[in-house]
Amino acid sequence: MRRPSKARSHKPSGESQRLIQLAQATLAAGSRIEERLWERQLDAALNKQMVTGHQQNIDSALDLLFQQDPAAYEALMDAAESTAESSSLQHEGKQFEALLVAVPVLAWTRYSISSGPIPGELQNTLAAHLYAHLLAADTRLAVSPVLYAIDQLPRSHAETHTLLQKLAHAALDGKPVRAPSSLPETAPFLADTRYLLAAVVTSPGGPFFRWQAAEAGTDILDARMEAYIEWKKQTQPNIERLLPGCGVELLLPEAYFVACREADKRIRPISVHAAVHYLTQLLSIEPTMLSAIVGGFAGEQSEGNIDEYRISFSLKQEREVVYGVVWPLYGDESGTEEPLDSLMARDLIAGKPPSSEDQTPIQQIFTLLREAGVADIKHHGEVFPMEFCDDCGSPLFCDQDAELVHAEMPEDVAEAPPSRLH
C-alpha cells in the first residue's frame, strides 16, 4: 500500500496548519512527557478531521510537510495512520479500545483471483481460528464479511477510521457486519493480495494479541511466531476454499497499515516467479528461452531517486517486450545502486548471493530471475521516467535498446494475459 501522492499543492487551511504545528512540536519536545502531550493533542486533532470526513485538511498538511519538513511529515503520517486504525469508544457506560486488523493473503494463479463476500459459515470459522490462536483473552471481534482486493480497501485515513468504527461497534453489540452494497471492480493480476479485515476490541490498556498478555512469558517473539504458525496451519485450508485455483500464502495478522505494507513487499518476489511460470506455460517454452530487462523508473518529484523497477520479458534474441512486472520500492529501500557489474562480480567471488535480507532491490530481482531459470538478464543503468500508455493506462517497459514500449503478447497467442502482474 503506497503512501499518498504528493502532487497536490495549495495553501493549507487553519486546521491543516494546526496539524503541521503539532507534528513539529512533537519532534521538538525536550522530554518524553512533553512528547506525549503533543501526541495526544495531535491525535485529537486528527480524530476530529476523520470523524467529520475532512481528509483534505490532513492531505494538505502532509503535502506541505513532504516538501518542507520530511521528519515532521513522517511524524504526521504515523499519527494519521495510528488514529485511523485505532480508536477509543464507549459502550454501555464502559470505555474500550479498538484496533483495525488486516489479514493479508498472498495469492497467485494463471486464472483469476477471487474477492468479494465471504459465506457466513466460513466467516464464523475464520473468526474462531483468530480467537483460538491469536487473540488475547477477553477481546471482542468483528470480521468483515468481505475478502478485499487492494483497490477495494478504504482510500483515505477518514474512510479507514469509518470502517474501524463500524466493525468495532458490531463487535461490542455482538451483531453481524453488513457487506458493502457494491465494491469496485478489480484489475486482473496473476499475483496479488487479498485482505480479511477485522476489528479487535479490548479494555483500556489491555492486550489485543496473545503474545502481548503477561502470561505469554518473556520470550515474546517466540510466542508470536508459535501462535502464527499454528493459526496459519488451521486457517490456510479455509482461505484456499475462498480462492480456488490459487497458490496461497497467509501473512501474520497485524495492525492495518503495517500489514498492508508488509503484503506490498512480500507480493513482489511472488510476482516475478508467477510471471516466468505463466510465460513458459502460455508460450510452451523453457525459462532459458526468455530474456529479462530491468530498468529503474522515477517520478517527476523523485529528484532522480528510483521509485520502482520495471522488469520486461521478451523471447530470447527478440526485441519485442511480451510481458512486464512492476517492482515498487517502499520506505527506506534504495534505488541508488552500485553498478551491476560489481554486484555480479561479488556474487562470483562469494560463490553465492547474499541472503535476501542483505540484498539491495536490484540484487533481489536478479536472484529471483536466476532462481526462476532466466539466465539472460540485462540491466539499464539509466533512470527512466514513469510513463504509461495513453490509451489503457498500463505502464511502459524498457526494451533491449532502452526504448519505452507497451508489453504485448505475440498475435498468435490465443490467451490474452493481464496487462501486468503487480
Decide if 52 is inside a domain. Answer: yes
**CA 8/CA 10 separation, integer angstroms:** 7
Q: How far apart are CA 394 and CA 206, in angstroms?
A: 47
Q: Does residue 113 share a domain with residue 259?
A: yes
Is there a single domain that holds both residue 251 and residue 315? no
pLDDT reading at 337 higher than 70: no
Does the residue 193 lie in any domain? Answer: yes
Question: How large is the C-alpha radius of gyration of the chain?
Answer: 23
Q: Are residues 73 and 175 in the same domain?
A: no
Q: What confidence score (pLDDT) does residue 238 get?
A: 94
Q: What is the pLDDT of residue 336?
A: 60
Residues 320 and 238 in one domain: no
320 plus 302 within the same structural domain: yes
> Does 412 fall in a domain?
no
162, 180: one domain? yes
Position 346 pLDDT exceeds 80: no
- Among 49, 69, 64, 66, smallest CA distance to 10 is for 64
76-90, 159-173, 246-260, 391-405: range with lowest mean pLDDT: 391-405
- For residues 253 and 303, membership in a common domain is answered with no
pLDDT per residue as tens digits for the range 137-158: 999 999 999 999 999 999 999 9
Mean local confidence (pLDDT), 365-374? 95
User: Structurally, how many domains does the chain consist of?
Assistant: 3
Which range of residues forms the domain containing residue 164?
Answer: 92-264
Write down the pLDDT at residue 2: 40
23 and 69 co-located in one domain: yes
The answer as to whether 414 is a domain residue is no
- Extract the C-alpha cell encoding 64: 506541505
pTM, entire model: 0.87
Looking at the structure, tell me whether residues 387 and 362 fall in a common domain: yes
Quick one: average pLDDT of 250-279? 96
Co-location of 116 and 254 in the same domain: yes
| 92-96, 315-319, 342-346: the lowest-pLDDT one | 342-346
pLDDT above 90 for 272 = yes
Confidence of residue 301 (pLDDT cuts 50, 70, 90): confident
Q: Give the pLDDT of residue 110.
A: 83
CA–CA separation, 9 and 419 (whole Å): 32
In the structure grid, which three cell numbers stand for residue 143, read together?
470480521
Report yes or no on 206 lying in a domain. yes
Q: Which pLDDT belongs to residue 353?
A: 56
Q: Is residue 419 situated within a structural domain?
A: no
Does residue 6 fall inside a structural domain?
no
Estimate to the nearest angstrom the gap between the alpha carbon of 389 and the chain centroid.
Answer: 24
In a domain, 3, yes or no: no
Query: What's the grid cell of residue 215?
Result: 502470561
